[in-house]
Chains A and B, each alone.
Chain A
């Protein structure tokens, strides 16, 4: 376990919630990106992140220190997001024009000087995002963890609480399913 995290966890267990605030500040961005991609809505992502941190605070004594604190926290957030996604009945798409509520930030400022490339990139993003949104929560989670977060099989197994073999199978099926959806759109 990270020594810095341990120095903050110990006072939390003694009831010091201010120390937990520091942990929130440290990991909120990393969690947000994954959760956002899982639930596809900034407001829902905020709710999920908040719930995940509150759950983590209440179950802090369950953290045994045998993995990184962030991995443990990540597991709570991903599971909360997957549960949230399962409950959703309507698939939401990213709406970058939502007034005042959007947290999206452009990745490349030069997009404004090369509108053709920017448009093509935007279209590609829309296609991949649309295909991603049609995957099951479990398949979406493994693709996000692998391709967007760069996690290894073992870390993903730890985060999702399943064996490595299951991660391997899920990724295989997720990639095949994503490919099938993209081919259908291209056709």
Chain B
């Protein structure tokens, strides 16, 4: 029983569309298989019978009726959509290349800026998204010391998370208001002479 592959090879043999390698394979198959030879004979017989069918010829000229139909139906030949190949472009070729180059440069610059910003923020953002504590980046010139020791040195209320009280700058703290007794001069003021007398 011939395989489908062998049958396809024989079909291509009848069609005359074999490569040199396929031709050799077909000849080996035909040499070895009587079934293949019989199938080839029948297919070639069919192809010859098709070729021998009488060729049909028209006994009339269709050109005039078709031209008349074109006129009657007012058909267009598609000339409106015809590409205007004979027309010169309105701008020089280098302008197009320049525009394309500018566009590529913009895309490249935008990509660079975007990914640069993403790289700077990226690690911290990712950690926060995961719920991790983000430690500040320590400058290279400052010594590394144990943060936990710092935390234990702080007063208890600060260690517990209260807002730490910074040592205040005397100049920045407004002077407290002092309650004044009646007729007592305010700070920096001399007493009223009438009262003293």
Chain A interface (Cβ < 8 Å from any Cβ of B): 12-15, 17-18, 20-22, 24-25, 28-29, 32-33, 36-37, 42, 45-46, 49-50, 53-54, 57-62, 103-107, 121, 124-125, 127-129, 132, 143-144, 146-148, 152-153, 168, 171-172, 175-176, 178-179, 182
Contacts and interface: CB of A to CB of B under 8 A. Distances in A.
B61 interface: yes
Given A103-B59, A172-B8, A54 B70 contact: yes
B25 to A, nearest CB: 15
B47 interface: yes
B46 A175 contact: yes
B70 A22 contact: no
Given A21-B66, A175-B14, A125 B56 contact: no
Given A58-B76, A58-B78, A175-B14, A29 B67 contact: no
B191 to A, nearest CB: 111
Which 9 pairs of residues, A with B, have the shortest CB-CB distance?
A: A61-B78, A21-B63, A147-B50, A24-B63, A36-B56, A172-B11, A107-B54, A21-B67, A128-B49
Contact of A37 (B8, B11, B53, B70): B53
Main secondary structure of the interface of B (DSSP, over half): helix
A109 to B, nearest CB: 12
A13 B82 contact: yes
A46 B78 CA distance: 24
A29 B58 CA distance: 6
Contact of A125 (B42, B53, B63, B79): B53
B3 to A, nearest CB: 13
Interface residues of B, number: 41
A53 B46 contact: no
B126 interface: no
A13 B77 contact: yes
B74 to A, nearest CB: 10
B29 to A, nearest CB: 15
A37 B53 CA distance: 10
B7 to A, nearest CB: 7
Contacts of B66: 20-21, 24, 50, 53-54, 57
Given A15-B77, A57-B75, A121-B52, 11 more contacts: A17-B77, A20-B77, A25-B61, A37-B56, A46-B58, A50-B62, A61-B81, A129-B53, A175-B11, A175-B46, A182-B46
A54 B69 CA distance: 8
A178 B46 contact: yes
B55 A107 contact: yes
A179 B42 contact: yes
B137 interface: no
B24 interface: no
A44 B8 CA distance: 34
Nearest to B54: A107
A32 B7 contact: no
17 contacts: A20-B70, A22-B63, A24-B63, A24-B66, A28-B61, A32-B56, A54-B69, A54-B73, A103-B56, A103-B59, A125-B54, A128-B50, A146-B15, A148-B50, A152-B17, A168-B11, A172-B11
